[in-house]
């Protein structure tokens, strides 16, 4: 058990050591916040959010994002308490190992690694396609290769450089969203003229065709999309072991991230729904572009193409970071070769970064040569990884509190005390189970479970085989 105020274990050593065998604590609160935002805010908001409104209607979309924000808040405060008490790199794996079991910890680490490796591959593809707007006819793979090199360099040099790069990548996205919301509000209340309206549009589009124009049922399918859209917030926990003064930085990052996400997502959806009729909302074009074009913003398409490109690179940057730390964590546990736990003089796990980049490139290759078979399975399996992680975080939080109390400690001794315990973690567990039920009931998502269940069973089998091999090796020494 670590000291909850200092992040040090029982014998007084750092929970995540620095030096040639460990990672360095070089990131600050601003890095953590932007890393978490960078992992969430992407093409789902900038491009696909209009489709969400089109499906569920204005009020339905806002309701879905509000529920998603509540789930994220419940998970993040649980993760915040765990990360302050035990600031390990690859925290999901370490917490699950202690409070659930080593086999489950291994499965969670593999699933989460695969989730980001597949996402990383898709981001590199998207980046190459986005460049076609400015360089039509140029080979997409060339641009993808350039961005692969950029993201690799940012991750391999130092964690401080990675944090700074992610801070500025995410800052561009945040600035674009804030500008969109402010300009949109001015247009809503008539301060800025907008095409198609002779007077201030206000909020008439919200109820023009009733409260839920497509009925209430689409809200549930939209809710599932929203839950996955918020995946990435948990990166704060992965970065905890490389954060300077985690007892202060992590709680600040947790609350700041959740508040900003709720404002950005719900605010953007509200502006879109007010200015664009729901049945025309971003079905073929980004709703951000539609709004900017309606108010006469010059080069609206080019500006948003740049913002989306930044969002893609930000997500790729976060993806490689998370993947490498999961590999590093597994290597520290000797479940994979110890070579992957080695770090350079900047505290970067070079071999883990190389392995993760190779994994993402293989996923990228499968999306080209086996899109309907191998890649389809990879996407399906990785799709539910976030729900598994969120579920495990809340279970670990509940068991941590129980162990903390039985060991004679009080909640006042915690470096950060999650509010609403035990209601919030149990609520998050119920919502995660509800989301899984939605997956089972949704015809378009159900096949995900068909791939996920046997893959998970194989992961458990793989863990037991690796663990048996490790014990044999130790016995022969």
Closest CA to 342 of 357, 355, 360: 355
CA distance 210 to 217: 14
> Contact 42/177 with Cβ under 8 angstroms?
no
> Contact 83/250 with Cβ under 8 angstroms?
yes
Does the pLDDT at position 8 exceed 50? Answer: no
Closest CA to 62 of 223, 286, 298, 287: 223
Predicted local distance difference test score (pLDDT) of residue 17: 40
CA distance 279 to 365: 37
pLDDT in tens, 260-306: 888 888 898 888 888 887 776 655 667 788 788 888 888 888 888 88
Domain ranges of the chain: 29-471
SS3 of 16, please? coil
What number of other Cβ atoms are within 10 A of residue 203's Cβ? 15
pLDDT in tens, 70-118: 999 999 999 989 988 887 766 678 899 999 999 999 999 999 899 888 8
Closest CA to 156 of 410, 344, 424: 344
Does the domain formed by 29-471 have CATH 1.20.1740.10?
A: yes
Q: Which tokens is 384 given?
A: 């539910």
CA distance 372 to 385: 21
pLDDT in tens, 300-344: 888 888 888 888 888 888 888 888 888 988 888 888 888 898 888
Tokens 């919030």 correspond to what residue?
424
CA-based radius of gyration for the chain: 22
> Contact 159/27 with Cβ under 8 angstroms?
yes
pLDDT in tens, 394-431: 999 999 999 999 999 999 899 889 999 999 999 999 99
Taking the alpha carbons at both ends of the chain, their separation in whole angstroms is 30
> Contact 94/107 with Cβ under 8 angstroms?
no
């Amino acid at each position: 058990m670590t000291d909850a105020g200092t992040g040090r274990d029982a014998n007084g050593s750092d929970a995540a050591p620095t030096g040639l065998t460990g990672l360095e604590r070089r990131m600050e609160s601003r890095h953590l916040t932007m890393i978490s935002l960078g992992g969430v805010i992407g093409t789902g908001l900038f491009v696909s959010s209009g489709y969400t409104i089109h499906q569920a209607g204005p009020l339905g979309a806002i309701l879905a994002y509000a529920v998603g924000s509540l789930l994220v808040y419940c998970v993040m405060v649980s993760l915040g308490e765990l990360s302050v008490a035990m600031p390990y790199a690859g925290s999901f794996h370490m917490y699950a190992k202690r409070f659930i079991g080593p086999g489950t910890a291994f499965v969670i680490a593999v699933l989460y690694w695969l989730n980001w490796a597949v996402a990383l591959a898709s981001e590199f593809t998207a980046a190459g396609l986005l460049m076609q707007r400015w360089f039509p006819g140029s080979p997409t793979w060339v641009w993808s290769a350039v961005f692969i090199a950029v993201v690799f360099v940012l991750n391999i040099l130092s964690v401080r450089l990675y944090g700074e790069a992610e801070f500025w990548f995410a800052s561009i996205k945040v600035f674009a969203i804030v500008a969109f919301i402010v300009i949109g509000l001015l247009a809503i209340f008539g301060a800025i003229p907008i095409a198609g309206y002779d007077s201030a549009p206000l909020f008439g589009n919200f109820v023009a065709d009733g409260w839920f124009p497509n009925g209430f049922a689409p809200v549930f399918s939209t809710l599932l999309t929203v839950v996955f859209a918020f995946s990435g917030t948990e990166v704060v926990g992965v970065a905890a072991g490389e954060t300077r003064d985690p007892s202060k930085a992590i709680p600040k990052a947790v609350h700041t991230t959740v508040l900003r996400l709720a404002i950005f997502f719900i605010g953007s959806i509200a502006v879109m729904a007010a200015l664009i009729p729901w049945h025309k909302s971003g079905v073929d074009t980004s709703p951000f572009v539609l709004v900017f074009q309606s108010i006469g913003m010059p080069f609206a398409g080019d500006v948003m193409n740049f913002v989306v490109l930044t969002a893609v690179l930000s997500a790729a940057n976060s993806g490689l970071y998370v993947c490498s730390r999961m590999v590093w964590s597994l290597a520290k546990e000797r479940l994979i070769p110890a070579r992957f736990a080695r770090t350079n003089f900047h505290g970067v796990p070079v071999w883990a970064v190389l392995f993760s980049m190779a994994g993402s490139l293989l996923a990228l290759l499968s999306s080209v040569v086996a899109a309907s078979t191998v890649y389809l399975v990879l996407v399906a399996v990785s799709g539910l990884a976030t729900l598994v992680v969120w579920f495990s975080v809340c279970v670990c939080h509940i068991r941590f509190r129980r162990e903390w109390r039985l060991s004679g400690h009080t909640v006042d001794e915690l470096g950060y005390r999650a509010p609403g315990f035990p209601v919030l973690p149990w609520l998050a567990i119920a919502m995660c189970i509800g989301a899984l039920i939605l997956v089972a009931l949704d015809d378009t998502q159900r096949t995900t479970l068909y791939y996920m269940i046997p893959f998970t069973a194989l992961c458990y089998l793989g863990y037991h085989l690796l663990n048996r091999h490790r014990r044999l090796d130790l016995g022969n020494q």
